[in-house]
Amino acid sequence: MSFRKIANSEILGVSYKGNWRKSASKKFASFYMDDDGLAINIEAALDTVADVYAISRDPSDYLLIPTRANSANRPNDNLDGWTSEELLEFDPHIGRRRYSTYNLKPHYVNHQAENPKLSRGVILDSHYNNLNDASDELQETFFNVTGREIAKDEFVETLIGVDTTKDPILAEAYRNGSTRLFSMGCDVEATMCSIPECGKVATTVWQFCDHIKNKHARRPVDCEDGNTRVAHEWCLGTIFAEESVVDVPADKDASIQENILSVSEMVNGPNRLTANQIEEIVSFVAKYPKQIPDSLAAVINEAISR
């Protein structure tokens, strides 16, 4: 039995036909954007996965997006975490380090992973990024949360190739920055309680200690070093499965109706679309691709091509 884990990730930038633009809320040093020798055989990667994912074989069709896929040595918002030792561990059964199990995995919308042909692209490569120093504030926060001392703000950086021909509206949303929320998915063999005095390892939910059973209550636990900490799970035996673009609106149905009315007025009204209106439409359609019928998609394409 394994656990499926989901966590948010952050777009660091975008590149189309060789032009990089950084877009992260905080400017991180990036292996892919800052390194002069990006040596990835994209053509070979696409030759391997194109038929399975139903995506283009032509490297020139791809938008490249480096992302901060998941941080090391601290928990995420779901109170799941990965130590640097876990991410860098070599697993002889799969012949690679755990962080690199991202390689050649699909890129979905909203974790719709039931069919690989729904993929909008592929994770071309992954890299363990230890290029960024941790600030004094981050070091203090990390120690208070985990009891670990760190000098670097380390994370797994992935390079996603998005097929601009398969979903051009989504690709445009990435290019103009209107869509930037990502989430990764992985399977883990077990998790370990982060409270040092406990450290219970569980392979099923029935084996969880009381700290982890109640972790989302976020109750502080008194530790022997005199600190109080909220329990989280350290993930073990990780296999990364995919990375998705995600959106969690407060009222999806209301948003759809509002934007459909807006599109109708823009297409049929006397005034041409403004740049802001085009960005709004592109962002909306990128977020809800499965809810858009072909007839409405045709209207939207007409609107944004004017």
- By the 8 A CB rule, do 68 and 33 touch? no
pLDDT of residue 100: 95
> What are the tens digits of pLDDT across the range 215-233?
988 998 998 888 888 999 9
C-alpha span between 173 and 247 (Å, rounded): 13
Q: How far is CA 248 from CA 120, 269, 270, in A?
A: 19, 31, 34
pLDDT of residue 190: 96
Percent of the chain with pLDDT over 90: 36
C-alpha span between 119 and 167 (Å, rounded): 10
Q: Is the pLDDT confidence value at 193 over 80?
A: yes
Give me the chain's average pLDDT, please: 79
pLDDT of residue 173: 85
pLDDT of residue 143: 80
pLDDT of residue 52: 96
Lowest average pLDDT, out of 77-81, 92-96, 255-259, goes to: 255-259
Name the pLDDT band for 47 (thresholds 50, 70, 90). very high
Name the pLDDT band for 110 (thresholds 50, 70, 90). confident
Q: Buried b / exposed e across 63-91, counting CB within 10 Å, b at 16+?
A: bbbbbbbbbbbbbbeeebbbbbebbbeee
Percent of the chain with pLDDT over 70: 70
The helix (run of H) or strand (run of E) holding residue 221 is strand 220-222
pLDDT of residue 282: 66
Q: Is the pLDDT confidence value at 139 over 70?
A: yes
Where are the domains positioned within the chain? 3-187+238-245, 252-304
Average pLDDT value for residue range 121-143: 87
- By the 8 A CB rule, do 200 and 193 touch? yes
More confident of the two residues 299 and 67 = 67
Name the pLDDT band for 264 (thresholds 50, 70, 90). very low
pLDDT of residue 209: 94
Which amino acid is located at 13 in the chain? Answer: G
The helix (run of H) or strand (run of E) holding residue 51 is helix 42-53
pLDDT of residue 151: 86
More confident of the two residues 254 and 110 = 110
- Predicted TM-score of the model (pTM): 0.72
